[in-house]
């Protein structure tokens, strides 16, 4: 812990008091006493609407994946570094490995036969697989297969490691609330074994066998838990749910967020609420020829294109986005997505933080 000197810098706003010698002396006194007045800072601190330092940005999968592969050659995975994960660093966030002020997003890469060692931390985490398979993430001893389209939550303070049982490398996306917990000073971390505790590689985890039945709850687990006990949300279910929404829309029923726009939220079956206390995760499907209405929302999001292609506009930025590409939407920046051929989008965000603290706002045409 080091001490930073305080500098009271005169704002050039018209409403500032005249810079007399007396005022300068007062400001120097403030500095000595570790004080800063509101009136020189209010413009930055209390804007009329959120002005995030984070900027909209898109990372190309075609750039990310080769770098991860190269890291796979050069950087061992093991105790200390813990994970071969490479994080998106938002250009507005002072060179920190933060996708947004609250969210971490990284590509993780595991070679054949490698183990990512066991640890646990208060950060909430998940994995999402845009392509490939062969790694099992072992959560509290329960091995969970990872395959294309699967969403694999893993809430804070659960032991976990990964092992690649195949002869091919695998890459996937990690999402966490590292920046939020780092900022908020709430992070704890503990080391477990260097090697994952089981070599089992079952098709379905025990968690799915207990919790993966729609509307059915085991009588052994009747208390609500803050995070989901279901450790895998399989692609076949997500895909079917989205297809059904579009089919129901075509039959004339209300099932989509807006025309051509199907969407599901991954939820905790013990509460019906978000999968983890700080992270929201959703999957959106746009039918061919769909353009969404612009939406702006308090809180930030990271999206990954799962399939198809489309045009993404965040505030004044527009990109053509394709499979695997990731982009961020900072707080209160309007987002609009359009596609000719159809688009499947995975999304995660920090919205539960704002909803729980009664700071959430959303503004759009369909909400």
Per CB under 8 A, contacts with a copy of itself among 316-355 are 330-332, 350, 352-354
**157 Ramachandran zone, left/alpha/beta (phi>0; psi -120 to 50):** left
Smallest gap from Cβ 129 to a copy of itself, in A, equals 16
Calpha distance 362→367 (Å, rounded): 7
- The CB-of-202 to a copy of itself minimum distance in angstroms stands at 10
- Cβ atoms within 10 Å, residue 291: 18
- Whichever of 123 and 339 has its CB closer to a copy of itself, that residue is 123
**Shortest gap between Cβ of 149 and a copy of itself (angstroms)?**
13
CB closer to a copy of itself out of 32 and 167: 32
Q: What value does the CA radius of gyration of the chain take, rounded to a whole number of Å? A: 23
Contacts 24+ apart (CB under 8 A), 259-267: 259/290, 260/286, 260/287, 260/289, 260/290, 261/285, 261/286, 261/287, 261/290, 261/292, 261/366, 262/286, 262/287, 264/238, 266/151, 266/153, 266/228, 266/233, 267/228
Please report how close the Cβ of residue 123 comes to a copy of itself at its closest, in angstroms: 7
Q: What is the dihedral of CA 140, 171, 333, 296, to 10 degrees?
A: -60
Q: Whole-number minimum distance, CB 288 to a copy of itself, in Å?
A: 20
- Contact call for residue 289 and a copy of itself (CB under 8 A): no
The one among 12, 167, 203, 358 contacting a copy of itself by CB under 8 A: 358
Single residue of 113, 356, 362, 363 touching a copy of itself by CB under 8 A: 356
Of 52, 57, 30, 14, residue with least CA distance to 328:
57
Figure out which of the listed residues 83, 148, 158, 323 binds a copy of itself, where binding follows CB under 8 A. 83
Residues 292-321 that bind a copy of itself (CB under 8 A): 298-300
Residue closer to a copy of itself by CB (options 167, 222) is: 222
Within 13-32, which residues bind a copy of itself (CB under 8 A)? 13-17, 20, 22-23, 26, 29-30
Q: Return the residues of window 43-62 that contact a copy of itself according to CB under 8 A.
A: 44-55, 57, 59
232-271 residues in contact with a copy of itself (CB under 8 A) are 233, 237-238, 240-241, 244-245, 247-248, 253-257, 263-271
Report the distance separating Cα 31 and Cα 166, nearest Å.
61
Half-sphere exposure (CA, 13 Å, Cβ side) for 284?
A: 27
How many CB atoms are located within 10 Å of the residue 113 CB? 11
Site for a copy of itself in 171-230 (CB under 8 A): 178, 181-190, 206, 209-220, 222, 224, 226-228, 230
Strand partners, 311: 320, 338
Nearer to a copy of itself by Cβ, of 86 and 144: the residue is: 86
> By C-beta, is 4 or 167 nearer to a copy of itself?
4
Nearer to a copy of itself, 166 or 305 (CB): 305
Residues 121-180 touching a copy of itself, rule: CB under 8 A, are 121-123, 156, 178
Q: Which residue has the tokens 């294109």?
A: 305
How many residues belong to the site for a copy of itself (CB under 8 A)?
150
């Amino acid at each position: 812990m080091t001490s930073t000197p305080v500098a009271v810098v005169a704002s050039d706003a018209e409403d500032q008091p005249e810079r007399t010698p007396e005022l300068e002396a007062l400001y120097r006194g403030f500095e000595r006493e570790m004080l800063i007045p509101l009136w020189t800072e209010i413009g930055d601190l209390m804007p009329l609407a959120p002005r995030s330092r984070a900027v909209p940005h898109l990372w190309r999968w075609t750039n990310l994946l080769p770098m991860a592969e190269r890291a796979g050659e050069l950087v061992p995975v093991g105790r200390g570094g813990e994970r071969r994960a490479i994080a998106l660093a938002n250009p507005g966030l002072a060179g920190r490995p933060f996708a947004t002020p609250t969210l971490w997003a990284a590509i993780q890469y595991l070679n054949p036969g490698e183990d990512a060692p066991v640890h646990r931390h208060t950060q909430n985490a998940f994995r999402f697989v845009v392509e490939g398979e062969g790694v099992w993430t072992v959560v509290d001893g329960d091995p969970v297969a990872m395959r294309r389209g699967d969403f694999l939550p893993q809430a804070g303070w659960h032991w976990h490691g990964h092992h690649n049982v195949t002869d091919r490398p695998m890459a996937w996306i990690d999402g966490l609330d590292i920046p939020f917990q780092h900022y908020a000073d709430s992070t704890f971390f503990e080391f477990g074994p260097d090697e994952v505790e089981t070599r089992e590689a079952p098709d379905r985890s025990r968690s799915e066998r207990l919790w993966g039945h729609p509307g059915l709850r085991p009588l052994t687990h009747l208390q609500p838990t803050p995070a989901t006990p279901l450790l895998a949300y399989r692609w076949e279910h997500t895909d079917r749910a989205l297809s059904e929404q579009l089919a129901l829309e075509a039959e004339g029923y209300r099932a989509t967020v807006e025309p051509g726009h199907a969407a599901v939220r991954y939820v905790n079956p013990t509460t019906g609420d978000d999968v983890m206390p700080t992270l929201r995760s959703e999957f959106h499907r746009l039918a061919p020829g769909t353009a969404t209405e612009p939406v702006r929302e308090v809180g930030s999001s990271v999206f990954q294109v799962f399939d198809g292609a489309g045009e993404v506009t965040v505030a004044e930025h527009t990109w053509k986005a394709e499979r695997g590409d990731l982009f961020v939407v900072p707080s209160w920046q309007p987002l609009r997505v359009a596609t000719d051929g159809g688009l499947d989008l995975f999304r995660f965000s920090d919205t539960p933080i704002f909803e729980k603290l009664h700071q959430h706002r959303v503004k759009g045409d369909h909400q």
